[in-house]
């Protein structure tokens, strides 16, 4: 399952009796996935959290870069170019 598929294809159900998960349009109980399936689900969740953290960090870095570029543009307004 690719990351883009995981965002749209995986949703945890809210049934009280047995927790469920929807994968590629099919509903499964968490128990039916077995240990390996639950481990992979946890890995997917951790990976999604890390992707979000990295996207947030990228947004912060891009904002800082844009600010530095804007300040540099202001500085160069008072400097005579050599060519």
> Count H helices, E strands: the chain?
2, 3
C-beta separation of 30 from 21 below 8 A: yes
pLDDT tens readout for residues 12-43 = 655 458 999 999 999 999 999 999 999 999 99
**pLDDT attached to residue 53:** 98
pLDDT tens readout for residues 48-82 = 999 999 999 999 999 999 999 999 999 999 999 99
Strands (E), the chain: 10-12, 20-23, 26-29
């Amino acid at each position: 399952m690719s990351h883009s598929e995981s965002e749209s294809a995986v949703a945890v159900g809210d049934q009280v009796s047995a927790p469920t998960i929807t994968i590629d349009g099919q509903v499964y109980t968490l128990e039916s996935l077995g240990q390996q399936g639950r481990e992979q689900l946890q890995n997917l969740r951790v990976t999604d959290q890390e992707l979000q953290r990295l996207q947030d960090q990228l947004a912060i870095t891009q904002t800082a870069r844009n600010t530095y570029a804007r300040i540099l543009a202001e500085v160069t307004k008072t400097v005579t170019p050599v060519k």
